[in-house]
Amino acid sequence: MNGQGFVVSVSDREIQKEKEKARALRKTRWWQRRIAQGRCHYCGKAVAPRELTLDHVVPLVRGGRSTRGNVVPCCKECNNRKKYLLPIEWDDYLKGFSIDGKSAGGSGTDGGNAQDRGS
């Protein structure tokens, strides 16, 4: 108990467990089908299936789990950005892709606030 409000404390052991689950998930047909579509969940770019990585929408360190609802195919570029950006900056980054009406991101956040920029 450290009373840090939004910070979810997840033990290393739990993270290890979830990482293993993610590894198992990557071998499922469900995942193979997802990456076979060759598209990054975030930027929508066409990416070769083997270039797609498994990304946790809610990161493990923030209490995310390796479940089908929380993992998405992600290109390396988005993966890197997600790692280094603050959550708020990441949100902004995603908004850049929602111009075409496609809602990026999804679960967990209250979507539907895409700003109409550029026409």
Minimum distance from residue 44 beta carbon to Zn ion (Å): 7
Contacts of 70 (CB under 8 A, 6+ apart): 56, 57, 58, 64, 107
Q: Which of residues 16-45 bind Zn ion (CB under 5 A)?
A: 40, 42-43
**Token pair for 69:** 């609802």
> Which of the stretches 14-22, 62-70, 71-79, 90-98 binds Zn ion when contact is defined by CB under 5 A?
71-79
The reply to whether 78 sits near Zn ion by the rule CB under 5 A is yes
DSSP string, 2-64: ---TTPPP--HHHHHHHHHHHHHHHTSHHHHHHHHT-B-TTT--B--GGG-EEEESS-GGGT-
Nearest residue (CB) to Zn ion, 14 versus 91: 91
The reply to whether 58 sits near Zn ion by the rule CB under 5 A is no
Minimum distance from residue 73 beta carbon to Zn ion (Å): 9
Minimum distance from residue 32 beta carbon to Zn ion (Å): 19
Strand partners, 53: 74
Residues found near Zn ion in the complex (CB under 5 A):
40, 42-43, 75, 78
